[in-house]
Structure 1
């Protein structure tokens, strides 16, 4: 057996985790060809094929799966050992990868991360906007953000920001032409802007008043996939949009949008950042968690004292 490079083993794990050479190359900031050459050298050194490659997909062979099962815990131990050394530095370094839905990235994570980066210039961030529920450990993320506490039991959850609410909004022009709904059932006669999630399901609009919950499946001519797109469509008088209040606040203040059915909008749980309880957190991640607590205290000092 020829001499092996340890970084080739980590590259193999990254390719399988990312689902292909291109995604792994983007993650690592190198070319796909460089990763391919590394895996080819590893396979030549071991004398066995580790990856099945087609023009559309990459998957581990049986030998690759067997190697990765034993390899991943060892790579985690190496990462933890390096992070222990990082604790001795005056400033933590490294990369923090977080998976979160776009609204959480836009209105919660970005302000916190930008503030953190001012104090910790050697820490890099990768924020991935993704509404799908994934295994953050399997996909190589340090943390994820999800709505409420609907998390796995082996995760630690940290609240991010205040409670949330949806706003049902439309332009004055649209409401003049089509009327203003006074109850959720009135939306049946309106052109509602629909959202379809990556998995193919459509968003359901939830309402509540006097303890009475109600769900509406909106219908309309336009279907989109992000809150930003929905907001732009509402501003263009294409229909009624259902977006987190944070997205619409500035336009509500100027009168470009009007909120309807406000008395039917329930208070919702906050966003929660979660991370695995059984895995050693890097020095950078520990510093970020501490920063989150301090950031929340600065924004809501009275709430923290209560």
Structure 2
């Protein structure tokens, strides 16, 4: 059963919210078959069809719409009551759903996620990685990881991880017939691998050298939205890439990639975990936020 023991009711609420049996099943941690069976069992018991189903879409019937409007507040109250009881346990129990872009998930997996699971063995963590920026509330996530500047203003943000230094790199094959750029403006005459932020905006390459600051909308045929793809393209000689230093350190050390414009590099941003500014949050989310604040405090004081 799901967390409140009201599997069938939570199933139809999730399907109504997501407009998809598969997406609702993923949100609830159920198999699509189990969720479909739960909805069908409730419809059979009520002797009323709650959803119109086609091969491409799912929508509420008039009866289903009225039913959801009446039960959703009550189910929410029951879930909150369960969470209130959970808060009195020694350790939280349940599931934490987190949205993140792939590189961020790699940064936080070992020092944060695995540590959280070690401390709270009754908690399950479900991380969904995608480049696009999603509405975490509408899509049923407890929180998400993004660059600090991308966090919506109506969300609470908690720093996660150190500042990220970036490096402009290219493969030896790329430089075989090209001069290495000496200033950021030289990039305008190079083939660059552009990247798209989760918001959909094209990422401008930012640089600082002493009191000089430059932001370049670099040219390039190829635009990608995932760090590993950018790295593979750079290794293949497709162009210059601007990537987190930790991601390319081994390639630079082994000579697989060549770093340029090092004097202009800048510690650009930090990751943040963000979540809705609600008065009541689950015990599992509260414990996760507490762990992040603990790690941040240790980092400020230089403790391991």
| Same fold flag (TM > 0.5) | yes
Tell me, yes or no, if the aligned pair for 2:131 and 2:226 is still in contact at 8 Å. no
SS at match of 1:269: strand
CA distance in structure 2 between the partners assigned to 1:193 and 1:42 by the alignment: 52
Residue 152 to residue 237, structure 1, CA distance change in 2 (3 Å) = closer
1:250 aligns to what?
250
Match of 2:225 in 1: 225
Preserved contact between residue 133 and residue 199 of structure 2 (Cα < 8 Å): no
Q: Which residue of 2 aligns with 1:139?
A: 139
Deviation, 1:278, is 1.6
Matching of residue 75 in structure 1 with residue 98 in structure 2: no
Alpha-carbon distance in structure 1 between the residues aligned to 2:64 and 2:35:
16
Residue deviations 1:26-75 (CA, integer Å, cap 9, x gap): 44444323322322233344444322322122233444344434443333
CA RMSD of superposed structures (Å): 2.8
Q: Answer whether contact 1:205 1:218 (CA < 8 A) is retained.
A: no
Aligned match of 2:94: 94
Instruction: State the match for 2:213 in structure 1.
Output: 212
Matched, 1:128 2:132: no
Q: Distance in 2 between matches of 1:102 and 1:78?
A: 34
Moved more, 86-95 or 35-44: 35-44
**CA separation of 1:264/1:67 partners in 2, compared to 1, >3 Å: closer, same or farther?**
farther
Question: Are 1:167 and 2:167 matched, yes or no?
Answer: yes
Assess if the C-alpha contact under 8 Å between 1:206 and 1:216 holds in 2. Answer: no
In structure 1, stretches of 5+ residues that fail to align are none
When the two structures are superposed, what TM-score results if normalisation uses the length of structure 2? 0.85
Q: 1:196 to 1:291 in 2, by over 3 A?
A: closer
Residue 9 of structure 1 pairs with residue 9 of structure 2: yes
User: What is the count of residue pairs matched by the alignment?
Assistant: 299
The answer to whether the Cα contact below 8 Å between 2:164 and 2:245 also exists between their aligned partners in 1 is yes
Structure 2: stretches of 5+ with no match in the other structure: none
2:260 alignment partner in structure 1: 260
Q: TM-score, normalised by structure 1?
A: 0.84
Inter-partner Cα distance in structure 1 for 2:135 and 2:152: 10
1:207–1:214 contact (8 Å) kept in structure 2: yes
Equivalent-residue separation in structure 2 for 1:112 and 1:150 (angstroms): 20
Query: How has the CA–CA distance of structure 1 residues 110 and 57 changed in structure 2, closer, same or farther, with 3 Å as cutoff?
Result: farther
In the TM superposition, residue 109 of structure 1 has moved relative to its aligned partner by 4.4
Partner Cα distance (2:168, 2:249) in 1:
12
For the 8 Å contact 2:169–2:240, the answer to whether it is kept is yes
1:269 aligned residue: 269
Contact 2:104–2:271 (8 Å) recurs in 1: yes
1:255 deviates by 3.3
Write out per-residue CA displacement over residues 122-174 of structure 1, whole angstroms, 9 at most, x where no aligned residue: 11101111233322122111112222255444422111122234321112342
> In the alignment, is the contact (CA less than 8 A) between 2:184 and 2:207 conserved in 1?
yes
Cα distance in structure 1, aligned partners of 2:56 and 2:268: 41
Distance of 1:245 and 1:69 partners within structure 2: 50
Q: Is the 8 A contact 2:180 2:260 kept in 1?
A: yes
| Change in 2 beyond 3 A, CA 1:217/1:62 | farther
CA contact (8 A) 2:184 2:214 kept: no
Q: Aligned in 2, Cα 1:148/1:47: closer, same or farther, shift over 3 Å?
A: same
> CA shift at 1:199, angstroms?
7.7
How far apart are residue 189 of structure 1 and its match?
3.0
The structure-2 alpha-carbon separation of the partners of 1:63 and 1:144, relative to structure 1 and needing over 3 Å to count, comes to farther
Listed one character per residue, the Cα deviations across residues 199-224 of structure 1 (whole Å, up to 9, x for unaligned) are 8764443344534332213313x443
